[in-house]
Amino acid sequence: MTDALTIWTYDWVPQGPRGHVRDIRLRWACEEAGLPYRIASIRFEDRTTPDHLARQPFAQVPALQDGEIRLFESGACLLHLAEKSESLMPRAAKGRAEVLEWVIAGLNSIEMVTVPWWFIGLSGPPENPLEGWLASRLGRLDAVLAGRPYLAADRFTVADLLMADILRVRKLRAVLDPYPALTAYADRILARSAFLKAQQDQLDHFAAADAARAKS
Amino acid sequence: MTDALTIWTYDWVPQGPRGHVRDIRLRWACEEAGLPYRIASIRFEDRTTPDHLARQPFAQVPALQDGEIRLFESGACLLHLAEKSESLMPRAAKGRAEVLEWVIAGLNSIEMVTVPWWFIGLSGPPENPLEGWLASRLGRLDAVLAGRPYLAADRFTVADLLMADILRVRKLRAVLDPYPALTAYADRILARSAFLKAQQDQLDHFAAADAARAKS
C-alpha cells in the first residue's frame, strides 16, 4: 500500500491570498491525476521556525511529502507529481521535454516578471518600472497561444496548470484584455473541474481555520 | 553513434552581457559532465524572426538540440542535461528531488527577485522597490549555505551551477558582502575549471564575431 501524498500549507492566511496560496497548484495536479493526498498544516505564525525552515527555507508554502521524499517549490512539486501520471505529462521524450520547457518558462520567463510587477504594484509607485517588460512577455505568450490550444504536447499538461495559475492573479487578470488568445486560454484552463475543486477546497480549508480560531 | 548536443546562442552580443549570456549555463554543464557539444549561432539581429521564435518564443537564447529533442529555457536545458550524467545530478530519488527543488528555487525564489532588481537598477530610480525583498531572499539563502557546502545531495550538482551563475551577475555580486556564506559559496563554485572554460569559450565566441564583422 502506498502512503498518500501530503501537501503542506498554512493553517490560516489573511483573506487576500485565499484561493491563491500555492498549495492550490499541488491540489489541482493531484485532482487532475486522481492521486490520493492529504493536507497538513503549519501555523501561519510558525512559518519562520526552524522546523518549517527545514521544510521550506524561504518560509513559504507549499511543500510536498511523498514517502521518504520531501520537496519544496511548487514548480518542483509539480514536476515530481507529473512523473506519477500521464494525465499531467506524456511519457514520450518529446512531450516530456515540451512540458519541462513550458513549466520552466512559466516560472522563469512569465512569473519572473508578473510577480515582481504585482509586488511593486502593492506599494504603488506612479509608474511601475516593469510595465514594458510585462507587456513584452505577455505579448510573446499571446502569440504562442494564438497558434495552439495548449502549451505543450498538443494536450492539457501540468505546464498549462501552472501557466493558468500564474495568469489568474487578480491584478494581472485585470490587464490581460490586450491579449485575447492568452485570456481565452486562461479562461478555458481555469474552467476545469479539478481546478474548481482545488480552489473550493482551499477556501474551505482557510474558512475552517477561522471557525477554529474563533472558538479558541 | 550519438549526435553531439547543439547549444544555440547568438553570433554576437554587445560587450555588456559577454560572459553572462545564458548559453554559459549549458556550456558549463556539458563541460562538467564531459558531454560533447557544438555551438550554433543565430544572428543577434535575427532574434525576432519566425525561425528563431519557433525555437525560443521569447526571442532569447539559449536553446538546446539533442537529436529529435529541442528545448528552450536554460533551466529546462539544465534539467535535461542532468539526466545524462550523474556528475550533474545523483540517480537516487532523494538526491534527484533535492536537485530539482533547488534548481527551481534558483529560478523562482532567487532569480525571480534578482533579475527584476537588476533590471530596475538599470533605469535607476532613487529607491529600488525590490531592495527589501532581495535582502530577505538572500538572507534566507545565506542561512542555508551557512549550514552546508552545497545546495543538494551533499555534493556539487547542477543546482549549484545554476545558483552560482545567478549570484555572479556583477551588480548583484557587488551587494553580497552582508552574506558571507553565500559569497564564499559562489566564489568556490565559480572557481571550478568547467566554469572557467565555459566562460572563456563564450568570450572567445563573441570576440570571433567582432573579427568576422570587422572583415565584412
Q: Could you report the per-residue pLDDT of B86-97, keeping only the tens digit for each?
A: 999 999 999 999
Among A29-43, B179-193, B200-214, the minimum mean pLDDT is found in B200-214
Q: Could you tell me how many CB contacts below 8 A there are between chain A and chain B?
A: 124
Determine what percent of chain B is predicted with pLDDT higher than 90: 92
CATH 3.40.30.10 location in chain A: 5-86+194-215
**Best of A64, A81, A108 to disrupt the B interface by mutation (most B CBs within 10 Å)?**
A108
All three cell numbers of B2, joined, read 550519438
Instruction: Kindly state the average pLDDT of the residues A29-56.
Output: 97
Instruction: Test A133 with B119 for CB contact under 8 angstroms.
Output: yes
Instruction: Test B109 with A133 for CB contact under 8 angstroms.
Output: no
Predicted local distance difference test score (pLDDT) of residue A76: 98
Instruction: Kindly state the average pLDDT of the residues A146-167.
Output: 98
Q: How much is the mean pLDDT over chain A?
A: 96
Peptide bond between residue A62 and the one before it cis (omega within 30 degrees of 0): yes
Confidence of residue A1 (pLDDT cuts 50, 70, 90): very low
CA angle A178, A179, A180 (to 5 degrees): 105
Q: What is the b/e burial string over A151-180, where b = at least 16 CB atoms within 10 angstroms of the residue's CB?
A: bbbeebbbbbbbbbbbbbeeebeeebeebe
Contact B41, B75 (CB under 8 A): no
**Residue of A211, A58, A49 lying closest to B101 (CA atoms):** A58
All three cell numbers of A119, joined, read 509586488
Instruction: Test B111 with A113 for CB contact under 8 angstroms.
Output: no
Predicted local distance difference test score (pLDDT) of residue A107: 98
Within 8 A of B57 by CB-CB distance, chain A residues are: 105, 140-141, 143-144
Q: Which of residues 99-158 of B touch A (CB under 8 A)?
A: 100-101, 103-105, 107-109, 111-113, 115-116, 119-120, 123, 125, 129-130, 133, 137, 140-141, 143-144
Q: Which residues have a Cβ under 8 Å from the Cβ of B187 and sit 6 or more positions away?
A: none
Within 8 A of A22 by CB-CB distance, chain B residues are: none
Which residues sit opposite B38 in a β-bridge? B6
**Best of A101, A119, A140, A144 to disrupt the B interface by mutation (most B CBs within 10 Å)?**
A101
CA angle B129, B132, B138 (to 5 degrees): 125
**Residue of B172, B167, B153 lying closest to B195 (CA atoms):** B167
In the CATH hierarchy, which fold is given to the domain comprising A5-86+194-215?
Answer: Glutaredoxin (3.40.30)
Distance from CA of A189 to the nearest CA of B (A): 21
CATH 1.20.1050.10 location in chain A: 93-192
CATH architecture of B93-192: Up-down Bundle (1.20)
Among A16-20, A73-77, A103-107, A121-125, the minimum mean pLDDT is found in A121-125
Query: What does the alpha-carbon distance between residue B75 and residue A116 come to, in Å, rounded to a whole number?
Result: 19
Instruction: Kindly state the helix (H) or strand (E) to which residue B10 belongs, with its residue range.
Output: strand B5-10
Predicted local distance difference test score (pLDDT) of residue A4: 84
Q: Which of residues 152-211 of A touch B (CB under 8 A)?
A: none
Structure confidence by residue, pLDDT tens digits, B108-165:
999 999 999 999 999 877 889 999 999 999 999 999 999 999 999 999 999 999 999 9
pLDDT at A2 over 90: no
Instruction: Test B72 with A101 for CB contact under 8 angstroms.
Output: yes
Structure confidence by residue, pLDDT tens digits, B52-89:
999 999 999 999 999 999 999 999 999 999 999 999 99
Instruction: Kindly state the helix (H) or strand (E) to which residue B133 belongs, with its residue range.
Output: helix B131-146
- Strand locations in chain A (E): 5-10, 37-42, 63-66, 69-72
Predicted local distance difference test score (pLDDT) of residue B125: 73
pLDDT at B1 over 70: no
Instruction: Kindly state the average pLDDT of the residues B167-176.
Output: 95
- Interface confidence, given as ipTM, is 0.97
Structure confidence by residue, pLDDT tens digits, A181-207:
999 999 999 999 999 999 999 999 999
* pTM greater than 0.90: yes
Predicted local distance difference test score (pLDDT) of residue B2: 56
Phi first, then psi: what are they for A200, rounded to 5°?
Answer: -65, -40
Q: Give me the amino acid identity at B11.
A: D
